[in-house]
Amino acid sequence: MSLDLNRKKVVKNAWRITKERDKGAIRIRVPGGQMETKHFAVLNQIATEYGDGTVHMTTRQGFELPGIDFENMEAVNRMLRPIIENLEISIGVSGFDKPKDGYPTAGTRNVAACIGNRVCPYSNFDTTAFARRIEKEIYPNNFHVKIALTGCPNDCIKARMHDFGIIGMAEPQLDSSRCIGCEACVITCKKLVTGALKLHKGKVVRDERRCIGCGECVLSCPTAAWTRNPKKFFNLVIMGRTGKKNPRLAENFIQWASEELVVQVIKNTYGYIDKFIDRSLTKEHIGYIVDRTGFHDFKEFVLKGASINPEARIAQHVHWSGTFYVSDVFIGAPQGDQISR
Average per-residue pLDDT for the chain:
92
Please write the tens of the pLDDT for every residue from 304-338. 999 999 999 999 999 998 887 766 666 776 776 66
Q: Are the C-beta atoms of 134 and 263 separated by less than 8 Å?
A: yes
pLDDT for 324:
78
pLDDT over 60 (residue 1):
no
Whether 7-86 and 172-228 share one fold: the answer is yes
Cα→Cα distances 122→83, 168, 237, 319, Å: 30, 10, 19, 29
E strand or H helix that includes residue 336: helix 336-340
**What CATH class is the domain 112-169+232-314?**
alpha beta
pTM of the model: 0.92
* Mean pLDDT of the region 61-72: 96
pLDDT for 251:
98
Q: Which CATH number fits domain 7-86: 3.40.50.720, 3.40.50.2020, 3.20.20.70, 3.30.70.3340?
A: 3.30.70.3340
E strand or H helix that includes residue 169: strand 164-169
CB atoms within 10 A of CB 125: 25
Return d(Cα 224, Cα 222) in angstroms, integer.
6
* Mean pLDDT of the region 266-276: 97
Q: Are the C-beta atoms of 212 and 194 separated by less than 8 Å?
A: yes
Residue 69: strand, helix, or coil? strand
Please name the residues in contact with 237: beta carbons below 8 A apart, sequence gap of 6 or more: 159, 160, 164, 165, 166, 167, 250, 251, 252, 253
Please name the residues in contact with 154: beta carbons below 8 A apart, sequence gap of 6 or more: 122, 214
pLDDT over 60 (residue 3):
no
Going by C-alpha positions, the residue among 92, 157, 97, 164 that lies closest to residue 128 is 157
pLDDT for 313:
97
Return d(Cα 300, Cα 314) in angstroms, integer.
11
Q: Are the C-beta atoms of 130 and 137 separated by less than 8 Å?
A: no
* Mean pLDDT of the region 243-248: 92
pLDDT over 80 (residue 197):
yes
* Mean pLDDT of the region 137-163: 96
In the chain, the amino acid numbered 111 is V
DSSP letter for each residue of 117-154: GGT-TT--S-HHHHHHHHHHHH-S--S---EEEESSTT
* Mean pLDDT of the region 13-26: 92
pLDDT for 92:
52
Task: Parse the chain into domains and list their residue ranges.
Answer: 7-86, 112-169+232-314, 172-228
* Mean pLDDT of the region 30-50: 96
In the chain, the amino acid numbered 219 is L
DSSP letter for each residue of 184-242: HHHHHHHHHS---EEEETTEEEE-TTT-----HHHHH-TT--EEE-SS-EEEEEE--B-
pLDDT for 252:
98
* Domain covering 172-228: architecture: 2-Layer Sandwich (3.30)
pLDDT for 54:
97
Return d(Cα 102, Cα 13) in angstroms, integer.
7
* Mean pLDDT of the region 272-282: 95
Please write the tens of the pLDDT for every residue from 95-112. 555 657 888 888 899 999
pLDDT over 70 (residue 142):
yes
69 DSSP β-pair partners: 23
Going by C-alpha positions, the residue among 173, 174, 216, 175 that lies closest to residue 193 is 216
